[in-house]
Amino acid sequence: MTQQLLTGWGMTAATRAEVCRPASADELSAALASGRAAGRGVIPRGLGRAYGDAAQNAGGTVIDLTGLNRVHSFDEGDPATGRAATITVDAGISLDALMRMLVPLGYFVPVTPGTRYVTVGGAIGSDIHGKGHHLEGSFCQHVDSMTLVLASGQSRLVSADDPDTAEAFWATAGGMGLTGIVLSATVRLRRIASAFLRVDTERADNLDDAMQRMSERDGEYRYSAAWIDSLSTGSVMGRAVLTRGDFAAVDELPVKLRKAPLAYGPSPKLAAPPWVPEGLLRTSTVRAFNEVWFRKAPRQHTGYESIPYFFHPLDGVLEWNRIYGRSGFIQYQFAVPLGAEQTVRDALGQLAAARCPSFLTVLKRFGPGNPGPLSFPIPGWTLTVDVPAALPGLGPLLDGLDERVVDAGGRVYLSKDSRLRPDALAAMYPRLGEWRAARAALDPDGVLHSDLSRRLGLT
């Protein structure tokens, strides 16, 4: 156990906690018991990729799950009956480790976010989504069952298919680690013939064009997302590069890839320097980057891309979060229902007007949501924007956007949040009461707490 200052990936609002890294289920129980006794609550933490304060617990205990990273069993399923392959793993294993193991065998994780450096436990606690959400939903929809260690120390196997435990399962899906600590989970896998994706790249002239293209043809692609030039204004506001595709069959691959179609070798190429000048990311540099990024994209093109290139481009730069400098950054991600396109348009317009230097602005069309009361995705649009925390006037700007999002029936993603106004939470998550009741049943003494839960009055 050590005292550590922790932040999320955005490197804002550091707080101190007692951090334990158990290496077994028994050590986990002991850490939970001592955290409970210390009286300032307990929260699990994985690889710290939540942008805000979801895996921090000021003055309390943080249980780092990355020491629990074993694979328990693997079932290759039965393609004849349609029974999916599954893998049962400790919650602390990363999607990176799973991919290294599974891709060469012809399997892929059901959902991957923009980074593979997340744990299975984190994927459940955030109910992560990826480029495939419009067809395949979010991570927890691919979890058969999980073992939840409750704050009392008891463990419970919960499953969406078991009427007795479905409520606990869905409260944990996107439950931000506040219902119990996921010890292990059985996850359904996707069969892949190759480790390469056939990707159609196309440019959209503005936001309306991008949305129209996505609305019309997203259904033809398993994976789809659009990068947006956040600084473009006027008639080209929201100009975008759409990249959509699916895993390729072996016989369609270019000849040189066919020899080893399941070859998978992700490796970070660069690390961000340990010290970055303040203000490296300013409007002018991002404008130049965006211009190049947009121009270099072909108007229309079909090509073959590796898994890291298509899904995890930023993982090529270790600790890229440091490029925002000492004051850190905020990732603002919201979702609004179909029909609320104007909210997305206004948000982009306001961010461009504030000269917000976001070089990672992503638009995605969500499919149906799931029964998780705190699960983020709702059918509609989600926009993700990176903003340096030092941007003048950022607080009021985002507070204003929150209001628009609420008016449209939308919400922000708690795993990204570090500044939401607490009074907006209930409007964004109308089933909050239901979640609180389920959490109260699982953690009646209110042991599980995080900076996020304190800040937003979540529990």
Partner 1 sequence: MNDALGGVQTALVLGGTSELALATLAALDLRPGAKVVLAGRDEDAMKQIRVPTSGGGSAEVTTLKWDAAHPASGPQVVAAASAALGDLDLVLVAAGILGDQARAEVDVEHCADILTVNLVGVAAAMLPAAERLRHQGHGTIIVFSSVAGLRGRRANYVYGASKAGLDALAEGVQSSLAGSGAHLLVVRPGFVRTKMTSHMESAPFATTPDVVGAAVADAVRKGREAIHVPRLLGPVFAGFRLLPRPVFRRLPG
- Write out the residues near partner 1 by the rule CB under 8 A: 3, 5, 10, 12-17, 40, 52-53, 57-60, 327-328, 330, 389, 394-396, 398-399, 418-419, 421-423, 451, 454-455
285, 286, 291, 294: CA torsion to nearest 10: 150
Length of the chain: 459
Give 135: exposed, middle or buried? Use CB within 10 Å, 0-12, 13-18, 19+: middle
Closest to partner 1 by CB, 60 or 357: 60
Closest to partner 1 by CB, 307 or 420: 420
Closest to partner 1 by CB, 60 or 180: 60
Nearest distance from residue 404's CB to partner 1, in Å? 14
Nearest distance from residue 325's CB to partner 1, in Å? 12
**41 in Cβ contact with 451 (< 8 Å):** no
Residues with Cβ within 8 Å of residue 392, at least 6 apart in sequence: none
- Tell me which residue of 38, 18, 56, 172 sits closest to 454, measured CA to CA: 56
Nearest distance from residue 64's CB to partner 1, in Å? 16
Looking at the DSSP assignment, which residues form a beta bridge with residue 6? 15
Q: How many angstroms separate the CA atoms of 300 and 382, rounded?
A: 24
Closest to partner 1 by CB, 89 or 405: 405
Sign of CA dihedral 21, 444, 168, 53: negative
Distance, first Cα to last Cα, the chain: 26
Nearest distance from residue 383's CB to partner 1, in Å? 19
Nearest distance from residue 15's CB to partner 1, in Å? 4
- Residue 146, classed as helix, strand or coil, is strand
Nearest distance from residue 444's CB to partner 1, in Å? 20
Task: Find the helix or strand (DSSP H, E) in which 16 lies.
Answer: strand 15-20
User: Exposure string (b/e) for 365-376, b if CB count within 10 Å is 16 or more?
Assistant: bbbebbebbbbb
Nearest distance from residue 394's CB to partner 1, in Å? 6
Tokens representing 145 are: 């069952």
Closest to partner 1 by CB, 10 or 372: 10
The one-letter amino acid code at 209 reads D
Tokens representing 222 are: 């398993």
Phi, psi (degrees; rounded to nearest 5) at 185: -150, 150
Closest to partner 1 by CB, 218 or 451: 451
- Residue 302, classed as helix, strand or coil, is strand
- Tell me which residue of 13, 5, 79, 7 sits closest to 389, measured CA to CA: 13
Nearest distance from residue 459's CB to partner 1, in Å? 13
Nearest distance from residue 425's CB to partner 1, in Å? 11
Closest to partner 1 by CB, 15 or 138: 15
Q: How many angstroms separate the CA atoms of 450 and 178, rounded?
A: 8
Closest to partner 1 by CB, 49 or 419: 419
Closest to partner 1 by CB, 150 or 398: 398
**93 in Cβ contact with 71 (< 8 Å):** yes
Give 303: exposed, middle or buried? Use CB within 10 Å, 0-12, 13-18, 19+: middle
Closest to partner 1 by CB, 264 or 332: 332
Closest to partner 1 by CB, 11 or 143: 11
Nearest distance from residue 421's CB to partner 1, in Å? 5
Nearest distance from residue 273's CB to partner 1, in Å? 21
Q: How many angstroms separate the CA atoms of 244 and 222, rounded?
A: 8
Strands (E), 61-125: 61-64, 71-75, 86-90, 107-108
